[in-house]
């Protein structure tokens, strides 16, 4: 239910209940029974704009080929996943985000949602197909031009041309601008020479490289006429039709990993490998026969960020995949908790169901609420990404200032949501494993595999800590387009030269902050959604303004002008950067959840989601209540009341736990594990 639908309360917020601490509002949950909530309506609301796409994608699991299996050797697992990718290509589903002439409909939102549903199954398939269609083929589409599309896309989309995406190097992961592989133009032969100068420039962890890949999109420093022009992408054959490495290409197998062993990760080194001039994917930079370089984007750093920005779909997709892995783990753990019994209460014949214990509710239900919140935030992000690509800012031509700004806003949000979703997945899947005891440690029950396979998502498609620093950098000023062209030193100097105002002050959040400043915290109900939003917004602004002050002090007046002292100041503020970004992402997620509650057409579903949103908001505040206490936004008494309200919300939502799990739409075929058939024993 929405905030306005809550029952009337006394000034103390207790609905007049006797013998109740007036600081503790009551939770209106007992009156809503599970039978009143339609699980189909709930799932339809979660599936949202692309509900039909998601429902259709779930049909894949009627085919046993796509169901998760255990006890496979690495070789068996790789063969099975390769077979799955071929079968997936045969369905035509991966084409949906590509132009009509290649069998698609340019529907990027549908692609992201299909990918999320695919992640209910084997995450090795998710990653390998993501490399093939979301990275290799997408790079051809967005970084290449028509001749590259005609030459490569049909074979890439049919999986006749297995491809790799060779960006990360042993010595450079997140710092893509500094990769050391070179592509030097040889005008005498009208060719580029791809070279790995030393071991640290070897392309590492490259999916599809160890066994299947026949070509790779290789990111390298473009050099012509003795001058470098920054990182560009090239199509480089890595194997011939017999499967042997191409001349000058050295391939190594990364071998067994902690998880995702169905993906053939490899290492690539290039020793004077020659490719024709048109191997350069030249949408944003080209070289003519005379070796003259030209680009529609003059500034090298802006050109670099524009090229990387066209590949943002991968980051959004990984956030969705992490969410699906989390939902799968929660589906298993909560169903187990609903049927497994342990210890008898006095006067009872039957042992107590695990989920009736408040400690067990505390382990799983706040995580369930956060998963709901992040689902709706990801849905908003997918819709925004779709709009960016539909407008042409995602890759068709050179974006103007307005579309460039829209793209960067989506990039920043994608970085934050991806980090939050993958960190949440890592924590929640571990909690689910522990909540299932010894049974949760058995491979047959999927939780260990989900944990192992999703763990790398925190560093895949961008290390989370680095991504959060990028989010904070974008928040420091409204001049985000200028920030994109600055390195660390330039960022600090730019901040120091500005009268930095919080982005929040120029948004609707200003009204929330005014509400918080003008009222007394102890007069507001903890279950008042506007008060919750105001607390989130106030924390974000306070942390962000503190960060801006720290960076101003590290500005150009510091030190001798060499930048050393400025960098030291920036380095000292890095944890503050990450905290500012985390506070921002929490608010964005709460805003998305609040909007989803308000837009729900089904009254009973809306009431249930409203309580889940309360649990997300208050458990998030509870987790950071030391900060809120330190900064005067919670009194000790209110802090204690907060804990009691979270307890009460967990008890209130406990009867709806399985309904909420069913709302995720996790295919039964992917979570039908042995321990659920004998949990009562």
**Domains of the chain listed by start with CATH number:** 40-305 (2.40.110.10), 312-664 (1.20.140.10)
What is residue 26's predicted lDDT score, i.e. its pLDDT? 56
384 has pLDDT over 80? yes
User: Could you give the dihedral angle defined by the CA atoms of residues 171, 174, 177 and 178, in that order, rounded to the nearest 10 degrees?
Assistant: -20
Q: List the catalytic residues.
A: 461
CA angle 51, 55, 61 (to 5 degrees): 155
What is the reported pLDDT for 48? 96
**Which pLDDT score, from 0 to 100, does residue 13 have?**
33
Give pLDDT, residue 549. 81
Q: Are strands 273-276 and 266-270 parallel, antiparallel or unpaired?
A: unpaired
Which residues, in sequence order, are CB contacts of 292 under 8 Å at separation 6+?
224, 225
Q: Give the confidence band of 573 by pLDDT, cuts at 50, 70, 90.
A: confident
Ranges 41-50, 68-77, 430-439, 492-501: which has the least confidence: 492-501
Chain-centre distance for alpha carbon 141: 22
Q: Distance between CA atoms of 664 and 214, rounded to whole angstroms?
A: 38
Q: Which pLDDT does position 462 carry in this prediction?
A: 87
Q: Is the pLDDT of residue 230 over 70?
A: yes
Q: What is the share, in percent, of the chain residues with pLDDT greater than 90?
A: 72
Q: Comparing C-alpha atoms, which of 476, 486, 627 is closest to residue 551?
A: 476
Percent residues over pLDDT 70 in the chain: 85
Contact 502, 549 (CB under 8 A): no
State mean pLDDT over 455-466.
93
pLDDT of residue 7: 33
Beta carbons of 24 and 9 less than 8 angstroms apart: no
Q: Which two tokens stand for residue 641?
A: 């009341």
Q: Which residues pair with 341 in a beta bridge?
A: 353
Alpha-carbon distance 623 to 377, whole Å? 20
More reliable by pLDDT, 153 or 32: 153
Confidence of residue 10 (pLDDT cuts 50, 70, 90): very low
Task: Summarize pLDDT for 481-531 with one digit per residue, the tens.
Answer: 444 444 555 555 555 554 344 444 444 445 555 555 554 555 468 999 999
Query: Can you give the pLDDT at residue 516?
Result: 55
Q: Is the pLDDT of residue 135 over 70?
A: yes
Strands 182-186 and 215-224: parallel
| Buried/exposed 144-172: b ≥16 CB within 10 Å, e otherwise | beeebbeebbeebbbbebbbbbbbbbbeb
Q: Reply yes or no on whether the pLDDT at 2 is more than 90.
A: no
H or E element, residue 205: strand 203-206
Helices 529-553 and 488-496: crossing angle in degrees, nearest 10, is: 100
Residue 1 has pLDDT above 70, yes or no: no
CA distance 681 to 673: 15
199 with 179: CB under 8 angstroms? no
pLDDT in tens, 290-304: 999 999 988 888 888
Which one of 325-334, 346-355, 536-545 scores highest in mean pLDDT? Answer: 325-334
Helices 464-475, 529-553: axis angle to 10 degrees equals 90
Minimal CA–CA distance to 430: which of 527, 304, 326, 559?
326
Q: Give the phi and the psi of residue 342 in degrees, each rounded to 5.
A: -160, 125
Please list the alpha-helical segments (H only) found in 395-463: 401-435, 447-454
Query: Are 24 and 12 spatial neighbours (Cβ–Cβ below 8 Å)?
Result: no
**Contact predicate 415/347, CB 8 Å:** no
Quickly state the pLDDT bin for 473 (edges 50, 70, 90): confident
> E strand or H helix at 220, and its extent?
strand 215-224
pLDDT in tens, 172-195: 877 888 999 999 999 999 999 999
Q: How confident is the model at residue 560 (pLDDT cuts 50, 70, 90)?
A: low
Q: What single-letter DSSP state applies at residue 137?
A: I
**Could you tell me which residues are beta bridge partners of residue 224?**
227
Q: Rounded to an integer, what distance in angstroms lies between the CA atom of residue 368 and that of residue 598? A: 19
Structure tokens at 29: 């949950």
Q: What is the pLDDT of residues 404-416, one digit of tens each?
A: 778 888 999 999 9
Confidence at 351, pLDDT banded by 50, 70, 90: confident
For residue 19, what pLDDT is reported? 36
Q: What is the mean pLDDT of the chain?
A: 87
CB 248 within 8 A of CB 117: no
Query: Residue range 229-235: average pLDDT?
Result: 96
CA angle, corner 122, sides to 118 and 123, nearest 5?
80
Label residue 4 by pLDDT band (50, 70, 90).
very low
Q: Nearest 5 degrees, angle CA 383-CA 386-CA 390?
A: 140
**pLDDT at residue 14 in the model:** 33
**Do β-strands 203-206 and 249-253 pair in parallel, antiparallel, or remain unpaired?**
unpaired
Listed in sequence order, the residues at least 6 apart from 513 whose beta carbon sits closer than 8 Å to its beta carbon are: 504, 505, 534, 537, 538, 541
Give dist(CA 593, CA 616) in Å, integer: 9
Burial (CB count within 10 angstroms: exposed 0-12, middle 13-18, buried 19+), residue 115:
buried
Query: What's the pLDDT score for residue 5?
Result: 36
The model carries a pTM of: 0.89
pLDDT value at residue 564: 57
Mean pLDDT of 386-410: 72
Kindly indicate the confidence band of residue 288, based on its pLDDT and cuts at 50, 70 and 90. Answer: very high
Exposed, middle or buried by CB within 10 Å (0-12, 13-18, 19+), for 583? buried
Assign 20 a pLDDT band (cuts: 50, 70, 90): very low
DSSP string, 526-576: TT-HHHHHHHHHHHHHHHHHHHHHHHHHTSTTSTTSSSHHHHHHHHHTHHH
pLDDT at 364: 98
What average pLDDT does the segment 219-238 reach? 97
* 294: β partners: 286
Give CA–CA dist 160/464, Å, rounded: 34
Rounded Cα–Cα distance for residues 200 and 192 (Å) = 21
545 pLDDT tier (thresholds 50, 70, 90): confident
Q: Residue 71: count other Cβ atoms within 10 Å of its Cβ.
A: 8
Number of H helices, E strands in the chain: 24, 13
In whole angstroms, give the CA distance from residue 280 to residue 259. Answer: 34
Give residue 15's pLDDT band: very low, low, confident or very high (50, 70, 90): very low
Lookup: tokens for 50: 């692309």
What CA–CA distance (Å, rounded) separates 666 from 504? 37
Give 349's pLDDT tier (boundaries 50, 70, 90): confident
Judge whether residue 24 has pLDDT over 60: no
Which residues contact residue 492 at a Cβ distance below 8 angstroms, ignoring those fewer than 6 apart?
Answer: 551, 554, 555, 566, 567, 569, 570
- 444/71 Cα distance (integer angstroms): 8
**How far apart, in whole angstroms, are the C-alpha atoms of residue 622 and residue 376?**
21
The predicted pLDDT at position 551 comes to 80
CA 613 to CA 497: how far, in whole Å?
40
């Amino acid at each position: 239910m929405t905030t306005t639908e809550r029952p009337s309360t006394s000034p103390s917020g207790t609905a007049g209940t006797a013998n109740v601490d007036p600081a503790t509002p009551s939770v209106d949950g007992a009156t809503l029974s599970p039978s009143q909530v339609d699980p189909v309506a709930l799932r339809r609301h979660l599936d949202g704009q692309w509900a039909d796409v998601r429902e259709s994608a779930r049909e894949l699991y009627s085919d046993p080929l796509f169901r998760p299996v255990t006890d496979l050797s690495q070789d068996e697992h790789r063969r099975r996943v390769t077979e799955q990718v071929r079968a997936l290509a045969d369905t035509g589903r991966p084409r949906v985000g590509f132009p009509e002439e290649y069998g698609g409909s340019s529907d990027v939102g549908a692609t992201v949602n299909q990918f999320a549903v695919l992640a209910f199954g084997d995450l090795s398939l998710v990653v390998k197909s993501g490399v093939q269609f979301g990275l290799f083929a997408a790079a051809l589409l967005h970084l290449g031009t028509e001749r590259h599309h005609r030459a490569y896309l049909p074979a890439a989309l049919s999986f006749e041309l297995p491809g790799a995406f060779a960006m990360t190097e042993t010595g450079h992961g997140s710092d893509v601008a500094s990769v050391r592989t070179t592509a030097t133009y040889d005008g005498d032969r009208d060719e580029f020479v791809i070279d790995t100068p030393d071991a640290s420039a070897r392309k590492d962890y490259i999916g599809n490289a160890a066994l299947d890949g026949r070509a790779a999109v290789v990111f390298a420093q473009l050099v012509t006429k003795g001058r470098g022009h920054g990182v560009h992408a090239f199509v480089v054959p890595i194997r011939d039709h017999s499967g042997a490495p191409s001349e000058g290409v050295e391939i190594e197998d990364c071998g067994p990993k902690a998880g995702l062993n169905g993906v053939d990760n490899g290492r690539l080194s290039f020793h004077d490998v020659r490719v024709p001039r048109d191997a350069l994917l030249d949408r944003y930079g080209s070289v003519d026969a005379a070796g003259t370089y030209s680009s529609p984007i003059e500034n090298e750093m802006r050109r670099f960020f524009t090229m990387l920005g066209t590949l943002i779909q991968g980051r959004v997709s990984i956030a969705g995949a992490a969410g699906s892995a989390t939902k799968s783990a929660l589906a298993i753990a909560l169903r187990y908790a609903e049927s497994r019994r342990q210890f008898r209460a006095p006067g009872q014949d039957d042992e107590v169901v695990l989920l009736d214990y408040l400690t067990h509710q505390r382990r799983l239900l706040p995580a369930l609420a956060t998963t709901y919140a992040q689902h709706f935030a990801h849905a908003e992000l997918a819709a925004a990404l779709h709009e960016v690509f539909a407008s042409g800012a995602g890759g068709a031509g050179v974006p103007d200032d307005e579309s460039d700004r829209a793209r960067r806003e989506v990039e920043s949000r994608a970085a934050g949501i991806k980090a939050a979703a993958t960190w949440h997945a890592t924590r929640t899947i571990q909690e689910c494993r522990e909540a299932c005891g010894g049974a949760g440690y058995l491979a047959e029950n999927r939780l260990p595999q989900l944990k192992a396979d999703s763990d790398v998502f925190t560093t895949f498609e961008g290390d989370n800590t680095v991504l959060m620093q990028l989010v904070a950098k974008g928040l420091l000023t409204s001049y985000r387009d200028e920030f994109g062209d600055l390195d660390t030193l330039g960022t600090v100097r730019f901040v120091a030269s500005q009268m930095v105002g919080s982005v929040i002050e120029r948004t609707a959040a200003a009204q929330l902050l005014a509400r918080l400043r003008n009222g007394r915290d102890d007069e507001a109900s903890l279950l008042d959604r506007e008060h919750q939003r105001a607390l989130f917004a106030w924390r974000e602004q306070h942390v962000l303004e503190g960060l801006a002050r720290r960076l101003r002090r590290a500005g150009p007046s510091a030190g001798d002008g060499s930048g050393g002292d400025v960098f030291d100041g920036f380095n000292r503020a890095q944890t503050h950067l990450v905290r500012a970004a985390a506070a921002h992402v929490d608010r964005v997620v709460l805003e998305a959840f609040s909007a989803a509650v308000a837009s729900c057409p089904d009254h009973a579903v809306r009431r249930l989601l409203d309580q889940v949103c309360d649990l997300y908001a208050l458990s998030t505040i509870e987790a950071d209540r030391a900060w809120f206490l330190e900064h005067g936004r919670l009194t000790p008494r209110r802090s204690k009341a907060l804990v009691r309200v979270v307890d009460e919300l967990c008890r209130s939502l406990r009867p709806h736990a399985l309904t909420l799990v069913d709302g995720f739409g996790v295919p039964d075929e992917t979570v039908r594990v042995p321990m659920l058939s004998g949990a009562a024993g």
